[in-house]
Amino acid sequence: MAMILCIRRSEVDQLKLKYKKFDSLRRFGVEIEVGSEVKKKVVQTAIMASSKYDAHVSRYSLSTNNRYWHIKDDATCGIKGRKGPKGVEIASFVGHGINDINHISFIASKLSEIGCRVNENCGLHVHAEVSDLSVEQVSIFMAHWIKLEKIFSLILPMRRNKSEYCKFIFPIDVEKNENNICRDKFYSPDNLWSMLSPKNLSYYDNDDRRYNLNLVNLVRAIKYNHNNRKTIELRWPEGTLDPRDIRCWVKLFLIFIENCKNKKMPTNLKSCNLKEALDYFGLLNTNNNFSIMSASIQETKTWFLERIIDYNPDAIIFHKDEKLVKIADEARLILNEMWRPIRVYS
Assign 7 a pLDDT band (cuts: 50, 70, 90).
very low
Q: Name which residue leads in pLDDT, 174 or 69.
A: 69
Report which DSSP code applies to 340.
T
Cα 116 from Cα 109, distance rounded (Å): 10
% helix, strand, coil for the chain, step of 5 = 45, 15, 40
- Strand pairing partners for 28? 95, 128
| Confidence bin at 346 (pLDDT 50/70/90) | confident
Residue 247 reports pLDDT greater than 70: yes
pLDDT over 80 at 9, yes or no:
no
pLDDT for position 286: 61
Burial readout 105-140 (b: 16 or more C-beta within 10 A, e: otherwise): bebbebbeeeebbbbebbbbbbbbbbeebeeebbbb
Please report, rounded to a whole number, the percentage of residues in the chain having pLDDT higher than 90.
78
Largest CA distance in the chain: 74
State pLDDT tens for residues 185-213.
Answer: 999 999 999 999 999 999 888 999 999 99
Is it the case that residue 18 has pLDDT exceeding 50?
A: yes
| Bridge partners of residue 211, in order along the sequence | 167
The DSSP result for 76-138, as a single string, is TSSTTGGGSS-EEEEEPPPB-HHHHHHHHHHHHHHHHHTT----TT-BEEEEEE-TTS-HHHH
- Residues 6 or more apart whose Cβ sits within 8 Å of residue 236: 123, 152, 156, 160, 166, 212, 213
pLDDT at 262: 92
Does pLDDT of 2 surpass 80? Answer: no
Q: What is the pLDDT of residue 144?
A: 97
Q: Answer yes or no: is pLDDT of 21 > 70.
A: yes
* Predicted pLDDT at 19: 80
d(CA 62, CA 251): 24
User: Using CB atoms within 10 A of its CB, is residue 171 exposed (0-12), middle (13-18) or buried (19+)?
Assistant: exposed
pLDDT digits (tens, 9 = 90+) for 251-294: 999 999 999 999 999 999 999 999 999 998 888 876 556 678 89
Examine the pLDDT at 14 and tell me if it is beyond 70.
Answer: no
Of the pLDDT bands very low, low, confident and very high (cuts 50, 70, 90), residue 8 is low
| CA nearest to 64, candidates 205, 208, 221, 209 | 221
Mean pLDDT of the region 310-321: 96
- Per residue in 140-165, pLDDT (tens digit) is 999 999 999 999 999 999 999 999 99
Residue 89 has pLDDT above 50, yes or no: yes
Summarised one tens digit per residue, pLDDT across range 319-342 is 999 999 999 999 999 999 999 889
* Residues paired with 213 in a beta bridge: 234
Confidence at residue 226, expressed as pLDDT on a 0 to 100 scale: 86
Q: For 9-23, 135-149, 242-256, 293-307, which range has the lowest pLDDT when averaged over its residues?
A: 9-23
**Dist. CA 92–CA 107, nearest whole Å:** 10
For residue 139, what pLDDT band results from cuts at 50, 70 and 90? very high
CA distance 281 to 278: 5
3-state SS, one letter per residue, for 180-243: CCECCCCCCHHHHHHHHCCCCCCCCCCHHHCECEECHHHHHHHHCCCCCCCEEEECCCECCCCH
Query: What pLDDT band is residue 173 in, cutting at 50, 70 and 90?
Result: confident
Torsion of CA 254, 256, 258, 261, to 10 degrees: -140
Q: What type of residue sits at position 329?
A: D
What's the mean pLDDT when you consider all of the chain?
A: 91
Spatial separation of the C-alpha atoms in residues 134 and 138, rounded to whole Å: 6
- Whether residue 20 contacts residue 282, with contact meaning beta carbons closer than 8 Å, is answered with yes
Mean pLDDT, residues 300-329: 96
Whether the ω angle into residue 341 lies within 30 degrees of 0, i.e. cis, is yes
